Amino acid sequence: MSGISRRRVLTAGAAAGALGTLAACSSGTGLSVGGTDKDGNGTAQARPAKLIGDGSTADTGAQPHQPTPERLKPGQKPPQFVVFSWDGAGELSNQLFSRFRKVAADHGAKMTFFLSGIYTLPESKKNLYRPPQHPVGASAIGYLADRHIHATLQQVRSAWLEGHEIGTHFNGHFCGATGVRNWSPAEWHSEIDQAKSFVKQWKTNTGFTDLEPLPFDYDKELMGGRTPCLEGQSNLLPTAAALGWKYDASSPGGLQIWPGKVQGGKIWDFPLQSVPFPGHNFQVLS
């Protein structure tokens, strides 16, 4: 399921229905911003940009290709929503990131890519990551090869220019008894700060000089995330609210229902939904 922020919803068809959701796991100069060429690469259109920090990111203004919400008329049935998101959001050898960007383009869809922060951090620099309650540099998911970090950064840039959302899947993906379910709000804050810092300092950490900056201010653009294994939400939410996040997509399933607000109405809670499993008499998590 996608974390839907203040701006993002994908409408599929005009049929009335429940909220259906799908989720999956995927393992330059920067002085202008534009659309995408036929290969999906960002194209410059002489739009001024303000570099941030070491030039890894840039403030290029409002995100392009955003939908315009329309208020339903009295008695009008709501549309069916199909909401896509991806955990990890790395461009590996299977090229799932670029594949589903094309799927989105072919169908006029918008997606949320929950980027794992360490997917922009070379393994040679893993000691920069200090995960809560774990040794320095530890991670339950692998660090990407440098070539895959390079490809991931290109995909993230192009995805944002196409109107997709870049959320966070945090960093080390620690689950179970020694995982994120035991983290305090302060430890979640540390994890988020680190996830953002890796994205905002990829140029320094990787040494890449042939890539343009990510065309957004991640401090402003990051509006929500999904926790590893859908664990630890209760202590994440106070931190998310304090950071001004608009939503969280870390709670599991239940029926296909409209999301609601938590934390005193500050945070939209978008749970992964339970959906029928064809050929079986039970449901599975979307």
pLDDT-derived band of residue 83, with 50, 70 and 90 as boundaries?
confident
Task: State which CATH number among 3.20.20, 3.90.550, 1.10.760, 3.30.70 fits the domain covering 11-285.
Answer: 3.20.20
Q: Write the DSSP string, 228-258.
A: GGG--HHHHHHHHHHTT--EE--S---SS--
Least confident of 31-45, 86-100, 156-170, 214-228: 31-45
- Single-letter code of the amino acid located at 270: F
| pLDDT tens-digit map of 148-176 | 999 999 999 999 999 999 999 999 999 99
* Residues 1, 286 contacting (CB under 8 angstroms): yes
Q: Is the pLDDT of residue 84 over 50?
A: yes
117: left (phi over 0), alpha (psi -120 to 50) or beta: alpha
Sorted by where each begins, the domain ranges of the chain are 11-285
Cβ(3)–Cβ(165) under 8 Å? yes
The proportion of the chain whose per-residue pLDDT surpasses 90, expressed as a percent, equals 71
Q: Which of 130, 116, 225, 235 is closest to 171 using CA atoms?
A: 116
pLDDT bracket for residue 284 (50, 70, 90): confident
Answer yes or no: is pLDDT of 71 > 90: yes
pLDDT at 26 over 90: no
- Please give the DSSP secondary-structure letter assigned to residue 142: P
pLDDT of residue 286: 80
Alpha carbon 86 to chain centroid, angstroms: 7
**Alpha-carbon span 164 to 67, nearest angstrom:** 11
Q: Pick 41 or 58 by higher pLDDT.
A: 58
Answer yes or no: is pLDDT of 16 > 70.
no
Burial of 196 from C-beta contacts in 10 A (0-12 / 13-18 / 19+): middle
- pLDDT by residue (tens digit) across 245-282? 999 999 887 777 788 999 999 999 998 888 888 999 98
pTM above 0.95, yes or no: no
Q: Residue 190 belongs to what H/E stretch?
A: helix 185-200
pLDDT band at 32 (very low <50, low <70, confident <90, very high): very low
Amino acid identity for residue 23 in this structure = A
Sort strands 19-25 and 79-88 into parallel, antiparallel or unpaired.
parallel
Number of H helices, E strands in the chain: 6, 12
